[in-house]
């Protein structure tokens, strides 16, 4: 990522992968659908989503993980939010059958303002978005707010072998933010990704 200053309150700016929009946004969405697929599958396997009735994906991008969640046995309700209207549209098209069946809904929203009600979900998951949140503390607070008591927050980012991997200091900052809000949090290395987990 080069020199970066994460979680300083600044908007994500013109990065087409952070906030896909316009013609470049379509290309970015298709690229994200391909490049994030392995990490999403690894995170899904680690989470065993069938243990949760209601799931929210924060930063759903083009909707690949949303589709996997919506088809997981035992999952009754899936919601996806993304700050990019382009990604919301792509997610809806990709998962049109699940939307028509009432198993899925997708709308604009961000990590700090999901637009979802209090204590609505058993699981909140996000893959490769945490370094793009303007405020880490606001994002952690919002995940806590929308989870039911006993609910699980799962925040994943690129693994150590990726050029986008968090530094040791950034890694510790994510864990500390979750611990401040949830009281306890753990970090797991999945190979393709790191997974930070906390329970309300």
- In the predicted structure, residue 90 carries a pLDDT above the cut 60: yes
> Between 39 and 156, where is the model more confident?
156
Q: How far apart are CA 158 and CA 38, in angstroms?
A: 11
- In the predicted structure, residue 19 carries a pLDDT above the cut 80: no
pLDDT of 1: 40
The candidate with the shortest Cα–Cα distance to 71, out of 95, 46, 40, is 95
- In the predicted structure, residue 133 carries a pLDDT above the cut 80: yes
- In the predicted structure, residue 148 carries a pLDDT above the cut 60: yes
Q: How far apart are CA 99 and CA 34, in angstroms?
A: 22
**What mean pLDDT comes out for the span 123-135?**
94
Confidence of residue 9 (pLDDT cuts 50, 70, 90): confident
Q: How far apart are CA 18 and CA 159, in angstroms?
A: 18
* Domains of the chain as residue ranges with CATH: 37-199 (3.40.50.150)
């Amino acid at each position: 990522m080069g020199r970066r200053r994460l979680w300083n309150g600044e908007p994500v700016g013109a990065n087409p992968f952070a906030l896909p929009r316009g013609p470049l946004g379509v290309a970015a969405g298709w690229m994200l659908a391909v490049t994030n697929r392995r990490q999403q599958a690894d995170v899904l396997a680690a989470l065993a989503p069938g243990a949760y009735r209601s799931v929210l994906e924060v930063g759903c991008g083009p909707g690949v993980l949303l589709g996997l969640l919506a088809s997981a046995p035992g999952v009754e309700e899936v919601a996806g939010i993304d700050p990019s209207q382009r990604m919301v549209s792509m997610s809806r098209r990709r998962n049109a059958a699940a939307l028509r069946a009432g198993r899925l809904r997708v709308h604009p929203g961000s990590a700090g303002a999901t637009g979802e009600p209090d204590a609505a979900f058993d699981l909140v998951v996000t893959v490769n978005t945490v370094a793009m949140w303007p405020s880490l503390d606001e994002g952690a607070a919002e995940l806590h707010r929308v989870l039911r008591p006993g609910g699980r927050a799962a925040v994943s980012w690129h693994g150590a072998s990726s050029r986008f991997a968090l530094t040791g200091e950034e890694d510790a900052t994510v864990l500390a933010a979750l611990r401040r809000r949830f009281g306890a949090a753990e970090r797991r290395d999945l190979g393709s990704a790191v997974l930070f987990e906390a329970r309300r």
